[in-house]
Chain A
Amino acid sequence: QKEVEQNSGPLSVPEGAIASLNCTYSDRGSQSFFWYRQYSGKSPELIMFIYSNGDKEDGRFTAQLNKASQYVSLLIRDSQPSDSATYLCAVIEGRGYQKVTFGTGTKLQVIP
């Protein structure tokens, strides 16, 4: 059973701080990694994807991938109250295969 693990939280950070969200996965052959943001009662919204080891930055968001250690993380700089949501980590097993395994999500609370 391929697994994607996330701490359920809640992770509380003050406004303006850096929020760090982590995700580990069990399948060493995993190729593609995604971070979705889900507000309460809404559908997931894709915010970042990463395929290669290292960092990928997009605005206030940075995704970090370490395939050797089988973890992927999401950093949110200058956290805002509007960032308060559940963040889902998702992993695709291999090339050309789109079956995605989702983590259960980490709830982030940004305190004004």
Chain B
Amino acid sequence: DGGITQSPKYLFRKEGQNVTLSCEQNLNHDAMYWYRQDPGQGLRLIYYSQIVNDFQKGDIAEGYSVSREKKESFPLTVTSAQKNPTAFYLCASSFWQDYNEQFFGPGTRLTVL
């Protein structure tokens, strides 16, 4: 089955800790994205990557880091510099062509204790 997987589904972090969220896709998509969703708000773009070894900051990149060493994988690290990390994190992927729609993984819910 083709799709996007994210792990873990739930994650708890103590203040001051870095945590890494996993995102893997087997859709052969070129581009991958990380979004954050807070209650009552739309999705906000954190980082995106068009190709391997290249990525761009989105609207709210501060306190986050990413890597894109493989086409299939785009992990997100939430660092201790992110002051309010409790949120629902969504990974998406798409072909990098005109008009191609983004498909989402199931999400990771991060809670800071």
Contact = CB atoms under 8 A, between A and B. Distances in A.
B45 A99 contact: yes
B40 A96 contact: no
A22 interface: no
B8 interface: no
Interface residues of B, number: 24
A34 B103 CA distance: 11
A96 B90 CA distance: 22
Given A44-B43, A104-B40, A98 B106 contact: no
Contacts of B35: 102
Interface stretch (B14-22, B63-71, B75-83, B91-99): B91-99
B104 A45 contact: yes
Contacts of A34: 101-102
A17 interface: no
A52 to B, nearest CB: 11
Contacts of A8: 40
Name the residue among A88, A92, A98 with the largest chain B CB count within 10 angstroms: A98
Given A99-B48, A103-B42, A105-B42, A49 B101 contact: yes
Given A8-B40, A104-B40, A105-B42, A95 B98 contact: yes
Contact of B31 (A32, A42, A90, A98): A98
A45 B101 CA distance: 11
A80 interface: no
A98 B43 contact: no
Interface of B: 31, 35, 40-43, 45, 48, 50, 58, 90, 94, 96-107
Interface of A: 4, 8, 31-32, 34, 36, 42-46, 49, 51, 88, 90, 92, 95-96, 98-100, 102-105
5 contacts: A32-B101, A44-B104, A46-B101, A96-B98, A102-B43
Given A98-B96, A98-B102, A100-B102, 15 more contacts: A31-B99, A34-B101, A43-B90, A43-B105, A44-B43, A44-B90, A44-B104, A45-B104, A46-B103, A49-B101, A90-B102, A96-B98, A103-B42, A104-B42, A105-B42
